[in-house]
Amino acid sequence: MGRKLIKAIVSFAFIICLREAQAEEFRIGATISTSGHFATEVGPFGRLLSSWADELNSKGGIGLDGRKVPVRLFLYDDRSDEAIARRMYERLATVDRVNFMLGPYSSPLTFAASTAAEIHKIPFLAICANSPKIYERGYKWLACIIDEAPRYTYRYWEMIREEGLAKTVSFVVEDTLHPRGVHQGAKVLAEDGGLRVLSSHIAPKDMKDFSSVIVKLKEEDPDIVFVASNVPFAIQFMSQAKDLRLRPREFHVIHHGGPFLKALGERAEGVTGQSYWTPEMKGPGSERFLSLLEKAGIKLEEYPWAPAYMMALQVVESVLSECSSLDPEHLIGALKKSRTQTLGGTVFFRDNGVGSINTYPSQIQGGRYHIIWPRDLATSKHVYPSR
């Protein structure tokens, strides 16, 4: 037998063995912004995903067709950079040969990364990425846990409308995909609720000096200053707003999580924003989630987007439990048709992949976050005016 033939047989056997080995495990991959602009939002979430995989593997793996298979998790740091995210998801597809992808944090990174999943036909579940632009491309292999950005704050405006106290609002908006999408919807929702929109100030994400914007806002004297931005932008703006004594009846900062509270300290008291979940809300899998957070060394107060990641993991487990194989067509079909009860509510998907989960208005009271609407889920009453 010639050397070339022997070589070919060995190579073929190796490929068959590799595929069989891969078929005996569920390979799932993601990137986490452990460095860069978004690290303040999700930096340690790789530990949460690892704790989840470790927990499943300690019990034999994840359910599939009435049996359990090991979970193999692939994680990379995307450095909060779109090009790096795209490159890492290409690697997940071509080198790591994952069966399933969890999206990176933010709409810009997800917009870039999901293209790799579409090209390589791998199910991709976005988590915190709700810009409509992502879902207007007609991608088959893409779904998302959360609702689109224009509806991100609809419960807040429901509350404001029902209270009937606030009459005017001014917007400060970070010029990136997610904040722009939130602003687009919030402006309409505010007007529908009877509020008068005084202005919208759009600023680059790395803006350092907000003094000219704050001077205009002081002249307008709105009831609500609504800040649609990520945490670093919000900290920069709010620090200067407090220094320059801007005093609306309420600041609404959509991303007002732990790093924001830590940076502002007592000056964050009364600020409202958006949260997916608090422990008082309970829900399916809540105790398990808190246990995973503890194992991962993550404090929920510091990283309020963690519940969305847990909801994604709950969806993955539910979908696989209904699948007979890891065939990608089978997986994406099951994902798109699924309805999963999670700690944050029922997750289901529209035809374009957009999900059903939305945020709840929350307020910093006594240094803690409280859900303030709707009444049946509220853990505290809305304090307005907050100053």
At 2 the pLDDT is 56
Which of 204, 200, 212 minimizes the C-alpha distance to 175?
A: 204
**Radius of gyration (C-alpha) of the chain in whole angstroms:** 22
pLDDT tens-digit readout, 243-261? 999 999 999 999 999 899 9
At 3 the pLDDT is 55
Asked if 92 contacts 116 with a C-beta cutoff of 8 angstroms, the reply is yes
CB atoms within 10 A of CB 91: 16
Domain with CATH 3.40.50.2300 in the chain: 3-148+279-358, 151-276+361-371
Asked if 230 contacts 255 with a C-beta cutoff of 8 angstroms, the reply is yes
Question: DSSP characters for 103-122?
Answer: --SSHHHHHHHHHHHHHHT-
At 152 the pLDDT is 96
C-alpha distances (whole Å) from 98 to each of 31, 48, 94, 114, 277 are: 13, 19, 8, 14, 30
| Rounded Cα gap, residues 114 and 123, in angstroms | 9
Which of 171, 110, 180 minimizes the C-alpha distance to 152?
A: 180
pLDDT beneath 50: ranges in the chain: 1, 5-6, 8-22
At 298 the pLDDT is 97
| Rounded Cα gap, residues 123 and 310, in angstroms | 18
At 24 the pLDDT is 85
C-alpha distances (whole Å) from 276 to each of 88, 89, 137, 177 are: 28, 26, 27, 20
| Rounded Cα gap, residues 254 and 18, in angstroms | 46
Contacts for 240 with CB less than 8 Å, ≥ 6 apart: 209, 210, 211, 214
Q: Enter the tokens of residue 327.
A: 């065939």
**At the topology level of CATH, where does 151-276+361-371 sit?**
Rossmann fold (3.40.50)
Helices (H), 121-176: 132-135, 154-163
Pick the CATH number of 3-148+279-358 from 3.40.50.300, 3.20.20.140, 3.30.950.10, 3.40.50.2300: 3.40.50.2300
pLDDT tens-digit readout, 34-47? 999 999 999 999 99
Asked if 302 contacts 44 with a C-beta cutoff of 8 angstroms, the reply is no
At 386 the pLDDT is 85
Q: Which helix (H) or strand (E) holds 169?
A: strand 168-174
At 18 the pLDDT is 43
- The whole-angstrom distance between residue 71's C-alpha and the CA centroid of its chain comes to 22
pTM assigned to the model? 0.89
